[in-house]
Structure 1
Amino acid sequence: MENQTIEFQAKMYAFALNSATKEHGFKKDENWKLTLANAEEKAEIEQKYYPTVSTQIESKSLLKLSELVKIVLNRTPAFATEPLNDLGAQHNNSEYIIAYNPIRVHR
């Protein structure tokens, strides 16, 4: 049952990223950068970049969710040219997957 929930969360996160891509008018050369973060790191990223898309999950399930997110996103057209290989190292206190566009700095 837990795996189904994590799988559903991964699909919903991918849907949210694709929606944000369209909503914010990303150009073909603009891509999301995904990373694992704790609450402080997430707040820093949100202050520096706009837009961001994040989801929170228990630390024990974060690695599984991040692997599923990579699989789901690599199947979508937005990530086809630059597939995700790595989401960064997971810290003991990581509880978020957060996506941001490094080109779009928050003003």
Structure 2
Amino acid sequence: MQDPDWQPTTILRGLDDVRRLKATAGSDIVCTGSIDLTHQLVAADLVDEYRLFVYPTVVAAGRRLFPNGSPQTLTLSNCTRFESGVALLTYRSTAQGANS
């Protein structure tokens, strides 16, 4: 992608671009729906906060948010319950470099 055709948009081509963007003042950087990208961000210690929607459904398979070998220390900072039974859990990373 060269031009996303909408503003304000920043095209990120790698983790160094994410680090530079994160170092600037501004709004939150949000990753939605890409487990492969999320795994890369977690491994690079670029995630400060996790907003997890928990649905009252049991599934027998799926990809892990935290793959084996990537332990996380998280602190619950907020919990919102919706009438549907869905819960939004917000966790802050308490890892060493989480605020960098």
TM-score (norm 2): 0.29
Which one scores higher on RCO, CA 8 angstroms, separation ≥ 6? Answer: 1
Richer in strand (by share): 2
